[in-house]
Amino acid sequence: MIDNSLLSSKAGKYGIDLVGIVSKTLLSSISDQVISANVGRKLAFFKGDISDRMDYKKEMEDTEGIIAFGISYASSIKMPEDGENRLRISKCAYGEDYHEVLMRAGRALAGEVFSASGAKYKVFADTGIFLDRIAAYCAGLGFYGKNNFIINEKYGSFIFLGHILTDMPLDCDVSPVPSLCGDCHKCLTACPAKAYGDSVLDYGKCTSYITQKQGGYGKGGYIYGCDVCQDVCPFNLSAPKDLHKCFSTTIDKAFPEAETLVNMNKDEFDETYGNSSLAWRGFERIKNNALMYMSDKK
Ligand code: B12
Ligand code: SF4
Ligand code: SF4
């Protein structure tokens, strides 16, 4: 029988830090609240609306069970103190492309646990219609922080999330993890772009969206993504770091010298970042972001 203890006992060997079966009761009890909180909201990188994103059957019609999983990418690497001429790349692009890492890990876990039954499964990490955060929350992997991240008490929020849909009936009795934010609101006030209203993200203002979609940069020289609202979170300060070698990087890749990056040709860029999630946005976008930052800094 596939249950949480079986999944946890197998997950570690595939580099998965957190895993759990989605509770159908919890999912159906929060669905209406999530939909009404986001109704009419235009979603980033998605044509449908919030009810589509809550509907896992749109991805696999005969889904009977969902497994959520997470892999830590917390990093201890820091901008050098004399780094005023350096740029910043978000932690989500350190090391190997996280989509590849999560898909590989999820497929390996699913392959092992479903092989005997022959159950059908599909693995997603950022790539599905159903929201990874909702799956994680309903599997008890963490709480919803005020910054809308899924935060695990031990690992913090620097965890990539994925989920597995299967036609095998799976369910579990999990209680939602209550928010541990308390009176803290560091993430909301630290956001340099003022992208959080009353905890609802206006993604059009978020540096992460701007650097990926329309072109631009963020405070401190972010030219891809942004980590400010996570860096300040107490749960990330105490979380274990550098758990997976695949997400390790070097100072010169995480905080490249601005001159070096803008003078790279496409081959040099590919050699440095071709294997990372940075490559998704392409050489031209990243280089232009850097040029915009340098010209405004003058
Ligand atoms: C599109 C997208 C983006 C867009 C838009 C984000 C957005 N929030 O709209 C942009 C490009 C801005 C973005 C940026 C980033 N993203 Co992104 N993104 C996604 C993606 C593909 C879909 C998210 C989405 O559309 N959400 C829809 C909106 C409505 O959800 P939401 O804002 O989280 O709102 C939640 C609340 O409304 C909550 N809620 C409301 N009412 C209620 C009531 C109850 C009871 C409950 C329980 C919940 C609840 O539920 C909503 C759903 O989560 C997911 C992967 C996926 N397929 O799920 C990754 C994902 C959310 N991103 C992730 C990451 C890491 C990032 C970045 C940190 C990358 C970076 N370093 O730059 C930034 C952070 C920006 C930020 N402050 O959130 C991770 C988050 C991991 C985690 N631990 O939470 C995900 C899950 C990717 C992954 N597979 O790991 N992202
Ligand atoms: S990722 Fe950066 S810009 Fe976006 S909400 Fe967080 S702190 Fe603000
Ligand atoms: S910074 Fe504070 S309010 Fe924001 S998510 Fe972390 S604990 Fe919650």
Residue 203 pLDDT more than 80?
yes
At 39 the pLDDT is 92
pLDDT in tens, 36-89: 999 999 999 999 999 999 999 999 999 999 999 999 999 999 999 999 999 999
Kindly report the average pLDDT of the chain as a whole number.
96
Nearest Cα residue to atom 8 of ligand 3: 181
Nearest to 236 by CA among 162, 149, 163: 149
Confidence of residue 233 (pLDDT cuts 50, 70, 90): very high
Decide whether any atom of ligand 2 lies within 6 Å of the 92 Cβ: no
Q: What confidence score (pLDDT) does residue 207 get? A: 98
Q: How far is the CA of 122 from the centre of ligand 2 (A)?
A: 31
| Separation between Cα atoms, residue 103 and residue 133, nearest integer Å | 16
pLDDT digits (tens, 9 = 90+) for 129-152: 999 999 999 999 999 999 999 999
pLDDT of residue 197: 86
User: Which residues are the active-site residues?
Assistant: 126
- The pLDDT tens digits for 252-287 are 999 999 999 999 999 999 999 999 999 888 899 999
- Listed by start position, the domains of the chain span 1-298
Nearest residue CA, atom 6 of ligand 2? 229
Cα of 200 to ligand 1 centre, how many Å?
11
Is the CB of 225 inside a 6 Å radius of any atom of ligand 3?
Answer: no
Find out whether 65 and 55 touch, Cβ atoms under 8 Å: no
CA 133 to ligand 1 centroid distance, Å: 7
The CB density around residue 40, as the number of other CB atoms within 10 Å, is 7
Look at residue 115 in the predicted model and tell me its pLDDT.
Answer: 93
Instruction: Give Dmax over CA atoms of the chain in angstroms.
Output: 63
- Residue to mutate, 147, 226, 233, ligand 2, most ligand atoms under 8 Å from C-beta: 226
Asked if the model's pLDDT at residue 5 lies above 80, the reply is yes
At residue 297 the predicted structure's pLDDT band, cuts being 50, 70 and 90, is: confident
Q: What is the pTM of this model?
A: 0.98
**Tens-place pLDDT, residues 9-27:** 999 999 999 999 999 999 9
CA-based end-to-end distance of the chain: 63
Q: What is the pLDDT of residue 280?
A: 84
Query: Which atom number of ligand 1 is nearest to the Cα of residue 90?
Result: 71
DSSP alpha helix (H) spans, 139-265:
186-190, 207-209, 228-231, 234-237, 251-254, 258-262
Q: Which of 29, 126, 226 for a ligand 1 pocket mutation test, highest count of atoms within 8 Å of Cβ? A: 126
pLDDT of residue 1: 87
Find the radius of gyration of the CA atoms of the chain: 19
Evaluate: CB of 16 within 6 angstroms of ligand 2. no
Is residue 130 within 6 Å of ligand 3 at its C-beta?
no
pLDDT for 251 beyond 90: yes
With the most atoms of ligand 3 within 8 angstroms of its CB, the residue from 150, 184, 227, 236 to mutate is 184
Q: Which residue has the least CA distance to atom 4 on ligand 2?
A: 206
Ligand 3 centre distance from Cα of residue 78 (Å): 21
7 Cβ contact partners less than 8 Å away, ≥ 6 residues apart: 19, 20, 21, 67, 109, 113
Ligand 2, atom 8, residue with closest C-alpha: 191
pLDDT higher than threshold 90 for residue 298: no
Tokens representing 63 are 């889904």
As a whole number of angstroms, the distance between CA 113 and CA 240 comes to 28
pLDDT-based confidence at residue 198 (cuts at 50, 70, 90): confident
CA of 236 to the centre of ligand 3 (A): 9
Nearest CA to ligand 1 atom 53: 133
Residue with tokens 């929020």: 157
pLDDT exceeds cutoff 80 at 153: yes
